[in-house]
Amino acid sequence: METTDNLRPIEWDDYIGQATMKERLSIHINSALLRDAALDHILLTGPPGCGKTTMAQIIANSYGVDFTSFIMPIKEKVLVTYLRLTDQGVILLDEIHRLSTKQQESYLSLLEDGYLQLDNGDRVESGNITIIGATTEPEKVIAPLYDRFAIKPPFDEYSDAEMRDIVLRMAEAVETDMTDEAAHVLGRASGGIPRNAKSLVFMARDLETMGYGLDVAEILQKCRVDEDGFSEDHRRYCQVLAETGGISGLEILSAHLRLPKPTLIELERLLLKREVLQYTKSGRELIGRGWSVAKAME
């Protein structure tokens, strides 16, 4: 039976793009293996769906240890149970910025000295565990915790060509016909986010299963995204910015759009990449095609 996990790359070669990051991590992993030492702790920072979890799994695979993933926050006893049962492995602490400051502080000794200090005075040793932190909002990670991750390789933006290859690979995994041209359009419409590519490929697969041919315009329309990867929220952002005269601060936009700032910053990632928005000293400025993106809403 086909499962969504078929889509998750399990080896470096299947993981498309991020060449610099893959090379850097391979050096650290191979060195740790040669030295017969624990792999240093790693922090992965990038937007939702860019491939952090998948990367963490591949790191564990190539280091040859078990992989366990927790979405933060978790109760202390969950971590304690894991540490008591395991003395070697890679553990992903996903969304690490969601921990309170106090909880983040309690993880400092784990990363620095290899033990978790409990309130009752007990210490739980972490053996040869490698901790991979993942975050979409690094500014919410307290500085001492951020600093304790020895390896912090940045994610590069995926190019449209890499996104095309990700679409082709996913389509192959779910046995769906896909031409290079269609993959190019769907890849670009994924806006540099592999998880978005997955939604588009699943729509292509489901339409094909229902007996329809490959029609990219229909896939985009059904997934409510355009060829630039702009969603309704991107268009609304541009419209509100246009209404404020084409230049505005983040606070004002957040109030008008009724969206939290981190959500706006994530929307801006693609608007900046597509050069319809720029950051200036006086605020966010709509430029070039940005005005027609705003008009598309009317």
Candidates 48-56, 116-124, 174-182, 234-242; binding stretch for ligand ADP (CB under 6 A): 48-56
- The single residue among 29, 39, 50, 163 that binds ligand ADP, judged by CB under 6 A, is 50
The span of 141-149, 178-186, 192-200, 284-292 binding ligand ADP (CB under 6 A) equals 192-200
Check binding of 166 to ligand ADP (CB under 6 A).
Answer: yes
Nearest to 156 by CA among 4, 291, 44: 44
Contacts of 22 (CB under 8 A, 6+ apart): 12, 15
- Beta carbons of 55 and 153 less than 8 angstroms apart: no
Part in contact with ligand ADP (CB under 6 A); list of ranges 11-19, 140-148, 218-226, 232-240: 11-19
Query: What number of helices (H) and strands (E) belong to the chain?
Result: 14, 9
- In 3D, which of 56, 61, 20 has the Cα closest to residue 41? 56
**17 part of the interface to ligand ADP, by CB under 6 A:** yes
Name which position in 8, 24, 98, 152 contacts ligand ADP (CB under 6 A).
8
Strands, DSSP E only, in 41-145?
42-45, 67-71, 88-94, 115-117, 123-125, 128-135
By CB under 6 A, tell whether 195 contacts ligand ADP.
yes
CB of 285 to ligand ADP, least distance (A): 29
- Span from 42-50, 205-213, 222-230, 244-252 in contact with ligand ADP (CB under 6 A): 42-50
The 8-class DSSP code of residue 290 comes to H
Whether 20 contacts 162, CB under 8 Å:
no
Contact with ligand ADP (CB under 6 A) among 21, 39, 53, 62: 53
Buried b (16+ CB within 10 A) or exposed e, 164-175: bbbbbbbbebbe
When binding is defined by CB under 6 A, the residue of 29, 39, 43, 54 that contacts ligand ADP is 54
Give residues in contact with ligand ADP (CB under 6 A). 7-9, 15-18, 46, 48-54, 166, 169, 194-195, 198
